[in-house]
Amino acid sequence: MGLLCLFSCFHLPAQAQQPARITFSFDFPGSEPDHYLISISADGHSAYDSRIQTNQGSEDDSFHFDFTTSPFTRSRIFDLAKRGHYFEGEVDSKKRGMASTGMKTLKYADAQRSTEATYNYSRIPAVQDLTALLQKLSTTLEFGRRLEYDYRYQKLALDDELKRMEEMSKQNGLEELSAVSPILQKIAADATVINPVRVRAQRLIAEGRKESP
């Protein structure tokens, strides 16, 4: 009994200290990726998993990436969750005839609550803003995925990929560029990569540093 009490006394506080976490999953057959899940903890520890369905009979192309979300982006995400009432109640608009934009699920969990909402489209402004932010984050991380592949297997493809990335950044279509700074830094520092590509990578690194005030 004494040992059980001693274990509980140490075990329960550790559980209570688990940071709040938000997860966002997206499923849309035919898109690329057709599935992804982003998990962001209040302490910054984050993970991204995605899947691209390949030709029938082939294995799916899966990707996993661990990263740290910047304090600025993390604050925005959790503030939007709060303004969206932590996804309680009816989140989906239920509008008839609405075209499918992919099934989305937002989850929130902390020591006091655990909530979840699945939707195609929501009229709640905070949910709209959070959805857009997380979709942009996925776009950024998918660029990182492709850059890692190109850097390893086909460096000549890096220029086109970074051109597209720069253009999307200018159009405010990316989020949390700092998450992919490791691959950008590898490209920028590699003397075997042509100079215009290294310069593009350097510009994107600088843009990522400006994201967080």
Q: Is residue 69 in some structural domain?
A: yes
Give me the pLDDT at residue 134, please.
98
- Residue 213 DSSP one-character state: -
Contacts of 44 (CB under 8 A, 6+ apart): 68, 69, 70, 71, 74
The verdict on residue 8 lying in a domain is: no
10-residue stretch averages of pLDDT, the chain, 213 residues long: 47 65 96 95 97 67 95 97 96 86 96 95 97 98 97 97 97 96 98 97 94 68
Domain contains 1: no
Domain count, the chain: 1
Structural domain span for residue 28: 18-211
pTM, full prediction: 0.88
Whether 7 is in a domain gets the answer: no
6, part of any domain: no
d(CA 41, CA 194): 38
The DSSP letter of residue 101 is: -
- pLDDT at 210 (0 to 100): 85
Output the pLDDT for position 213.
62
Q: Give the dihedral of Cα atoms 29, 31, 35, 39; nearest 10 deg.
A: -150
Distance CA 11, CA 17 (A): 10
CA distance 10 to 12: 6
Domain presence at residue 11: no
Q: For residue 9, is it within any domain? A: no
Q: Is residue 121 assigned to a domain? A: yes
